[in-house]
Each structure stands twice: as structure tokens, then as C-alpha cells.
Structure 1
Amino acid sequence: MKRKTIDVITLGCSKNLVDSEQLIRQLEAVGFNVTHDTEAPEGEIAVINTCGFIGDAKEESINMILEFAQKKDEGELENLFVMGCLSERYLKELSIEIPQVDKFYGKFNWKELLGDLEKSYDDNLKLERTLTTPNHYAYLKISEGCDRKCSYCAIPIITGKHVSRPMEEIVEEVKYLVSKGVKEFQIIAQELTYYGIDLYKKQMLPELVERIADIPGVEWIRLHYAYPAHFPYDLLRVMRERSNVCKYMDIALQHISDNMLKLMRRNVSQEETYELIRRMREEVPGINLRTTLMVGHPGETESDFEELKEFVQKARFDRMGAFIYSEEEGTYSAKKYKDSIPEEIKQARLDELMSLQQSISAEIASEKVGKQFKVIIDRIEGDYYIGRTEFDSPEVDPEVLIQRKNNTLQIGSMCQVLITNSDDFDLFGEIV
């Protein structure tokens, strides 16, 4: 009997990607051929892992579902299943609106999909994944959910309360992934710094990172999605002392004016935010900071926005993203505030902020010319090897381009690179 092919399509963040990788491992173990995010899906069955974070992400997810629903209507597809955050949040509505979908699963009950395919979930494989990333790096999810109450955010509505994974389980997963050739780990969660409070009654991220750093074969550890309030400062000691913990912190600050931080329910002040950045840079010399900011939240005045611009100029973030506020039903801001700032003003503020950051990023990149960095090689593209420094996370940060001529490099290898040039986005270098 011909093995059926299942196309798995992942939308949204790296946390969704981990779920897809676990699903793919289970599907392959029971005899299916599985493709992931292929440009030309050809499977008899499709599974779409959706995102429901903000308006644009929800629209992308719905459009993808409708595209595959049409395939099913045209007889190109036998079964269509949908899982993930959008499905978790709008299960009943989607079931009515898009009847072509055989079944919708939430974010946490996707294991039922195996049963609906007349197979069973194998608990012995729960720490195993089929990586969709290059084999040398992986995302490592240490918790689910979020206990924060930010005004604009639907994540706690979708994912529920924060649930930390046991430390021993995480360590075992890292050892398994190292045995498969992974040497770089992006540690992810909805909110990293809360890790351990539910299980161990205190913040345990510093100890967890130390335990992962002690595992032979772990060469780089990078931290994503920290929260500024009640930051566990011992983490900076770990970052400073452990050579395989990248001097990189991804911490979403959202805004700087006290007015906006209060309206956003961020539980942190402007003064505390500046002090946090100061301590990070003082205690971990050379640390690179990535942040995300928001414009257009209800109540944001021109004065608030001017403070935000001044903050970007003073803080000089190595990496910065920004997005426009979109009202999400069920959130505090949707219930309490009127979304009164016109879209054209929101867009203008976003453009101005990103233009400001582009100049800063270009200046910071140019300062790296003439310096040497350890670079991990991700792939080959045209005439170049494409790699990253410890200050660059996959998919979201700039890359290092190295001419292929006269070089023979292995994907996943690390090498010393002299930076010879830069532009607004990337660095150019040559092997030392």
C-alpha cells in the first residue's frame, strides 16, 4: 500500500514550529510521508498550524485555510485539518464558516489528530522532533502560556496560564537534539523570565540556562522573549561567565513613556527600563539587545511618541522591530479603550520609528567592519555562504555573506570571519 503524504504548513512563530516538528515526528513514525511548508503541496492530507496573534497573522491563517479548502472542493485533497492558535481561539466559529475542514484542533489537543487518522500518539517519542530547521540549530520551548496581563495581548486568552516544563525534561530533550547534530539552541517561550515560578516557586531561568550550557556539544544558547518587569539579574552573570551563552537578549519593551506603560499594563516604569538596559550593558560587556516596540496603542499622544523616538536614539538597540496596535477582542484594551488613533497616523509613526532604527542599525553594522567574529554557516545561496554571528538569531536578524570562491565550508560549521563591509541589513566577510 502506498504511504499517504501529509503536507504540514506552519504559520506564525517559532513556538508553533516546535509543535509542527513534534507532530511530523509522530506522523512519520506511524508510516506517513510528510512535507513541511513545501511550495507545491501534493499530499492527500493537509494540516495547517495557524497563528492568531494579531490581525495580519489571523488574516494570513484564514487565507491559507481557504486556499486548501478550495483544493478540497476541487478534489485535490482528501482531508484538511487545522490546529494552532487561531483554531484554539475561534474553534466554533471556524467550524461553521469553513465546513470543508474535517476537524479543527486547538493549540494543545493536536495529538487527537493521530487518533482521527486511525493511529495513536507514541508517548515514547514525546521529546523527539523532525527538525524543519537546518540540522545544526533548533528552537527549544521551555514553557507555554503567559500570566502577564498586558492590555493589548491576546496570547493569555489563547494559551492560558504559564506552565513551565520540568527542567529534567528540557535537559533530556537538549541531549537528544545534540545527539542528532544540533549545536545551537534558541530558547523560546511566550515569556522566558517567568520560567519556574509555577513549578519551583521562584525564577529558574538562570539555573536552567546553566544546566543546558553544561551539556557537551551545546555551542551556542540564545534567549528569546524576555519580559522587563522583575527581570532575573542572575541571568546576566550566567551570560557573562558561560562562553556558550550568546551575549544576546531579546526583550520586548513595547514603549517608554510612563503614560503608555501604564495604559499597556506593563508593570514597569521608564526609569526602571533605562536602568535595566544600563545594567545589561554594564554586567555583560558587548551584549546585543533586540527589542520590539508598539505604536498606536489607544492613548498614545504625540508627546508619548516623541519620548519613544528619543528612547530609540538613546538606547541604540542592535536589533529592533515595531508593529502597529491592532485591537484584539477579549483583551483589556478592547474592553476599556477606544481604538481612536487613525490608521494613517499609526502607519506614519511606524515608518518614522523604523527609519530611525535603520540608520542606527547601519551605524552599528559599520562599526563591525575590520573586526573578527565566530560565524556559523547556515546555507549556500548563489556565490555566497550565508552565516550568522552569536549576535544574530535565525530568520529575524542580519546575516554574514562570505564569498564561496577559494573556500570550502560545511553547513553547520563554525569559522572565524573578518568583516570587510556592511550595508543596512547584512555584513560581508572573509575567512581568517
Structure 2
Amino acid sequence: MVLIISKKTEPVKSKTLKKNKVNIITLGCSKNLVDSEVLSGQLAANDIPVVHESSKKDHNIVVVNTCGFIDKAKEESINTILEQLELKERGKLDKVYVTGCLSERYRGDLAKEINDVDAWFGTMELPLILKELQADYKAELLGERMLATPKHYAYLKISEGCNRTCSFCAIPLMRGGHVSKTIEEVVNEAKGLVKMGVKEIMLIAQELTYYGLDIYKKRALADLLKHLSDVPGLHWIRLHYAYPSKFPMEVLDVMRERENICNYLDMPLQHVTDRMLKAMKRQMDKQEMTDLLDAVRDRLPGICLRTTLIAGFPGETRDDVEELKAFLEQQRFDRVGVFTYSHEENTSAHDLEDNVPAEEKEARAQEIMELQQEISYEKNQERIGQTLKVLVDKKESGRYLGRTEFDSVDVDNEVIINTDRPLKPGEFVHVKIEKAYDFDLEGSLVTVS
């Protein structure tokens, strides 16, 4: 953990004597966003005004929900904390609180280095945060939250923590072991989201396919999907973070049978060479990975496969990179994201020599993404002339932007919709694709669903 030098400040007068208003700033992944939404819902139920990442500056309390996943995320979290403390020093804020993964993992060190934060909280300390904010934890609100996303889509966390032992990953240190919600809890939360206007839910967890092992003594993701797909008004269900080892194939059968489950699967592979997979402790080899991908495509022809990869893991050679690129050429994933390796304390990979220079890590990541850019462009060209169902997300710079079932929020392609007709976010439309770019499509409105 890099030491941070923070100057001490003298106590300042309160910004205001008016009722407290809390602004929550969320960093990191969608799982953090859900935690912030739950906190917002609890505060609102206590009649405490709350906003998410507000730019109006009419709040007097800030809660920074931090990420501690990799070095860049840690740096962003620390910089955000320091920015809010500067506002506090100038009398613009009364209180600054910090929660989330970085705080869970490093709060002892951080509290010594940054002594102006009013209180530090871990990832599972919601009642303590509420007590500090003079709010009561309301257990009856379990599953309810105030959405920070547009109201037509939401993330739905089905479990917390992770039991995997991937050598590069510090998430179990910050989130603990795997704990599943019950099917009833998840379904009730989904019903509540639909009542709020949500049409698409994105299932998230540290590891989706482990769902149910702790409470049902079996992998129960397929059962959960059956119940969720029966929720009236739920148009799209999307699967994120499905670990490839021991993937429950019955999930694919449910996806094929249920129309409202998107033909989309996010399956992080991280690497493909046997030596890298073994060093990463991914519990499978390249051939098993290839067989799994073949089986997925055989059961679900036309499925959109998304994966994420790590560049620059300790010991990675040019041969590993070339084999990875050849694998991408062969598999032609629809969507790919790449992280550069981050050397994390208390992970088993931290015992290895971090021997790929930062510049080389970045160069390898760029090299991989340039290849994927070509693949994405070629696959998008195949969409020209097709009419696709699109969920309208927003209007930006005078143009409507939406997504197909093959695209998740923020990380995947968008569809530019050409029309003179007014559209509303959350509407489903049909668009005839006329142009294709590296990572986006463009077409004309045909019909509104």
C-alpha cells in the first residue's frame, strides 16, 4: 500500500445549520454501486435527504464508497477521498466518511495516513454507517434501495464474497467468503425493482455459478433463473461474472428456454496458456476452456460471449501473449476487456516476482485490444441489414442511444438510433442496422414495441 501524506487541518465551523444532506460517491464495480443504492434507500427511509454523485454541492456530508481491487482503483479512491477532505477544509462539507473495499482492506493504515476522515467503515458495516449518520437500520427494507442507475435497468446482487482462490485476486480479503441470498430474497427484490420501472436486471456476484452451494448444497443458478424469468414485467435478465471452471451447463438450457434471459454470457477467462492458468490458480486448462466454449455455443447458437483477460501476470512471456492472441483469433469473442496485472499484497501471486514492467503490461494490453477491435469491427459488419430489438437508454448530443440483448451497460456496444420520432429511455424499439463501427452500430427506427 503506497503511503499517503495528508496535512492536518484545524476544526472548521459547520457549513450549515440546516438538515443534513448526504452525497454518496461510488467508485469501482457494479457491486459497490448496489451497496451505495442500499445505503441510499436506508437513509431515505430515515427521512435523511440523500443523493448520488451530485454536482449541485448542496450537501454537507459525503460518503466515499471505495474500490481496492487494483492499483489504479486504489489511486482513484484515495484521490477522491483527498478531494472531499479539501472541500471539508474549505468549509464546504461538515463530514467525510469512507466505506467500501479499500477501507475494509487498509483502514488501519489509511486512518494513520489520512487523519481528517471522520470515520472508516468496512464492506459489511451498513448498520454502523447508519448509526454514525443518526439513522436506524431498517431490516424490513431488505432488498429495497434507491437506484443510482436510470430507472429502466438495475444491477441485482445474488451473493456476496467468494470462495475461489485465484492467485491474483484480493476480493476474498475484502468481501469474505461466498454467501448466497435465497431464491425468495432475490425474486422479491426483482419484483420490487420491476415495480420501480426496471425492465432489465443484470445479475452480479463475485462468482455467479457458485450460487446456492452454501444454502442449497448444489449449484442453483439455473433454478434461480427459472424463478426470475417468471417475474411479470421483467423483460431482460443478463448474466455477469460466470466463472468457467465447473460451469453448470443446465444454466444454458434455461437460457435457451426462457425468452427474457438475454443470449449473453460474461465469462472471465483471464488467460489461456496452461502455464499462466496454473499460475493464476484458475482450476482448468486451455483444452477444458476450449471444450466449454464449444459446448456453450453448441447449446446456444448465436450467444454473445464476453470475457476479460489479464496482461502482464508474473512470468508471462511473448509466447504466452502470442498464444493468447491466436486463441482470440480462433474464438472470436464478441466482447473483450483487458486489465493489466496488479501486484496485490496477501495474494499468493504476490510471492511471485512482478517481472513484467508497467510499460510492457500496458503495451500488451493495448496489443490485445487492437486485435479485438478488428474482430469486433468484422463481427459488427455482419449486423448490417439486420433488424435488432434495442432498449433505448438515453438521448445524447441530439441522438438516441440504446443497446441490444448482446450488450451490457457501459462495457459493451451501443446502437445509435436515427429517428425523428421522440423516444423514451426504457422503451424497446426495433432498429434496422445500416452502419457498423469498431464498437458501435447505427441504424434507423423501424417500430416501437
Same fold at TM > 0.5: yes
Q: Contact (CA 8 Å) 2:155, 2:203: kept in 1 or not?
A: yes
Q: 1:178 maps to what in 2?
A: 194
Residue 162 in 1 paired to residue 178 in 2? yes
Q: Contact (CA 8 Å) 1:7, 1:42: kept in 2 or not?
A: no
Aligned counterparts of 2:397 and 2:92: Cα–Cα separation in 1:
35
Amino acid paired to 2:192? Y
Post-superposition CA distance 1:362-401 (Å, at most 9, x none): 1111111100111011111122111100001011111111
Aligned counterparts of 2:199 and 2:356: Cα–Cα separation in 1:
46
Q: Contact (CA 8 Å) 2:419, 2:444: kept in 1 or not?
A: no
Post-superposition CA distance 1:393-412 (Å, at most 9, x none): 0111111111242x122210
Q: 1:413 maps to what in 2?
A: 427
Aligned counterparts of 2:419 and 2:431: Cα–Cα separation in 1:
13
Q: 1:141 maps to what in 2?
A: 157
Q: Contact (CA 8 Å) 1:83, 1:110: kept in 2 or not?
A: no
Aligned counterparts of 2:197 and 2:261: Cα–Cα separation in 1:
18
Give, in angstroms, the shift of residue 40 of structure 1. 4.7
Q: 1:321 maps to what in 2?
A: 337
Q: 1:109 maps to what in 2?
A: 125
- Paired residue for 1:285, among 293, 301, 320? 301
Residue 356 in 1 paired to residue 363 in 2? no
TM-score (norm 2): 0.94
Q: 1:268 maps to what in 2?
A: 284
Give, in angstroms, the shift of residue 2 of structure 1. 4.0
Post-superposition CA distance 1:288-338 (Å, at most 9, x none): 000001111111122111110101111101000011111000100102x11
Aligned counterparts of 1:77 and 1:269: Cα–Cα separation in 2:
52
- Paired residue for 1:347, among 357, 362, 365? 362
SS of 2:276's partner is: helix
Post-superposition CA distance 1:203-240 (Å, at most 9, x none): 00011011100111111000000101000000110111
Q: 2:104 maps to what in 1?
A: 88
Amino acid paired to 1:105? F
Q: 2:6 maps to what in 1?
A: none
Aligned counterparts of 1:175 and 1:61: Cα–Cα separation in 2:
33
Amino acid paired to 2:242? A
Q: Contact (CA 8 Å) 1:246, 1:390: kept in 2 or not?
A: yes
Structure 1, unmatched stretches of 5+, are: none
Structure 2, unmatched stretches of 5+, are: 1-16
Q: 2:328 maps to what in 1?
A: 312
- Paired residue for 1:130, among 130, 146, 150? 146
Residue 48 in 1 paired to residue 102 in 2? no
Q: Contact (CA 8 Å) 2:213, 2:219: kept in 1 or not?
A: yes
Q: 1:379 maps to what in 2?
A: 394
Q: Contact (CA 8 Å) 1:383, 1:403: kept in 2 or not?
A: no
- Paired residue for 1:193, among 209, 229, 234? 209
Aligned counterparts of 1:365 and 1:5: Cα–Cα separation in 2:
46
Q: 2:10 maps to what in 1?
A: none
Does 28-37 or 75-84 show the bigger shift? 28-37
Aligned counterparts of 2:115 and 2:246: Cα–Cα separation in 1:
46
SS of 2:294's partner is: helix
TM-score (norm 1): 0.98
Amino acid paired to 2:388? F
Post-superposition CA distance 1:157-195 (Å, at most 9, x none): 111111111111111111111111111110000000000
Amino acid paired to 1:108? M
Aligned counterparts of 1:117 and 1:349: Cα–Cα separation in 2:
46
Does 412-421 or 49-58 show the bigger shift? 412-421
SS of 1:368's partner is: coil
Give, in angstroms, the shift of residue 29 of structure 1. 1.6
Give, in angstroms, the shift of residue 352 of structure 1. 0.9
Q: Contact (CA 8 Å) 1:418, 1:430: kept in 2 or not?
A: yes
Residue 29 in 1 paired to residue 68 in 2? no
Q: 2:445 maps to what in 1?
A: 431
Give, in angstroms, the shift of residue 343 of structure 1. 2.0
Alignment coverage as a number of residue pairs:
430
SS of 2:63's partner is: strand
Amino acid paired to 2:444? E
Q: Contact (CA 8 Å) 1:295, 1:322: kept in 2 or not?
A: yes
SS of 1:187's partner is: strand
Aligned counterparts of 1:25 and 1:285: Cα–Cα separation in 2:
40
Q: Contact (CA 8 Å) 1:73, 1:100: kept in 2 or not?
A: no
Aligned counterparts of 1:253 and 1:177: Cα–Cα separation in 2:
31
Amino acid paired to 1:284? L
* Root mean square deviation of aligned Cα: 1.1
